[in-house]
Amino acid sequence: MSQTPRLAPNPGSHPLRFGYGTNGLTDLRLDDALALLADLGYDGVGLTLDHMHLDPLAPDLAARTRKVARRLDALGLGVTVETGARYVLDPRRKHGPSLLDPDPEDRARRVDLLVRAVRVAADLGAHAVHCFSGITPDGTEEDTAWKRLAEALDPVLKAATEAGVPLAVEPEPGHLLATLADFHRLRATLGDPDALGLTLDIGHCQCLEPLSPADCVRAAAPWLRHVQIEDMRRGVHEHLPFGDGEIDFPPVLEALAATGYQALTVVELPRHSHAGPHFAGRSLPFLHRAARAIPKGLEGTAP
């Protein structure tokens, strides 16, 4: 059964809520990671379902999910469920199998993972479930890949509709669905279902979108259900700690606040997991400093 998403209290004057992704804390037990984020003052967590953090394929998933829900509630943390675990389905192929794989049985395994994620998200009271298309397999025609993606997402969107949890698709550099324009192609193909939303990665906007990150936020606002944030350089898909890239963050956060976005804005540093507590500790003060530029009382209408 779907629950009302948690909106953790925000101690600042701005309306934004910041989280940190567990894919950047993979050396910590999940309970320790959640306690760390609460102690640091984060409003929530981007929970990547993986073998070390609420394994979606292990036995007793429902019971383990209830335990995590109680822990999140006790710590006052909101949550978005993310599905970007590298090897949770295939120990030898990163992000495999995907929604675009030639083998229908392989595609079905990814669909099953996403449906499981929707159920977990509903039981956690999550804001959304994040996913991505995957890379077009060698030898696959583009039109065939788009057809596979639309067909594979159909049962996931049905599950999301029944659960009352948005599915937030992320444009990912190098994937079939790589840009905001690609998201709109998928949305049109599927008939603009209510359950289909967007994950916007601010670094990806800097990397390859023609618009600035702040303008991407404004353009994406009606469909925005989840936000990931980190620094990045133009043309280089490398997630960087804040200050190591080229992004001007105050305009980005002001744009988010102006749209009325109320779900989590989650720091995405998976390749810095070896020093996860250090970067989690550095990231939140940086975001709070950047958010001080947001005029007090700036609130829009949530999409």
- Residue 297 pLDDT: 61
Listed as ranges, residues in the chain with pLDDT below 50 are 1-11, 301-303
- At 192 the three-state DSSP class reads coil
Residue 187 to residue 194: CA distance in whole angstroms: 10
* E strand or H helix that includes residue 108: helix 104-124
Q: Residue 57 has what DSSP assignment?
A: T
Residue % of the chain over a pLDDT of 90: 91
**Is the bond into 97 cis (omega within 30 degrees of 0)?**
yes
| pLDDT tens sequence across 173-208 | 999 999 999 999 999 999 999 999 999 999 999 999
As a whole number of angstroms, the distance between CA 144 and CA 252 comes to: 36
pLDDT score at 293:
79
CB 132 within 8 A of CB 175: yes
What type of residue is 48?
A: T
Domains belonging to the chain, first-starting first, are 17-291 (3.20.20.150)
What was the pLDDT predicted at 15? 86
- Whole-number pLDDT of residue 156: 98
Residue that the structure tokens 């990045």 belong to: 232
Give residue 158's pLDDT: 98
The H-or-E segment that residue 199 falls in is strand 196-201
Query: What tokens does 150 get?
Result: 């639309």
The residue among 239, 244, 183, 190 whose CA lies nearest residue 209 is 183
SS3 226: strand
**Exposed e or buried b per residue across 11-43, where buried means at least 16 C-beta atoms within 10 angstroms of its C-beta:** eeebbbbbbbbbbbbbebebeebbbbbbebebb
Q: If you search the block for the tokens 């949770």, which residue do you land on?
A: 88
> Which residues, 6 or more positions from 248, have their beta carbon under 8 angstroms from its beta carbon?
213, 214
CA distances from 48 to 51, 159, 299 (A): 10, 19, 29
pLDDT in tens, 81-110: 999 999 999 999 999 999 999 999 999 999
Question: How many Å apart are CA 23 and CA 88, to the nearest integer?
Answer: 12
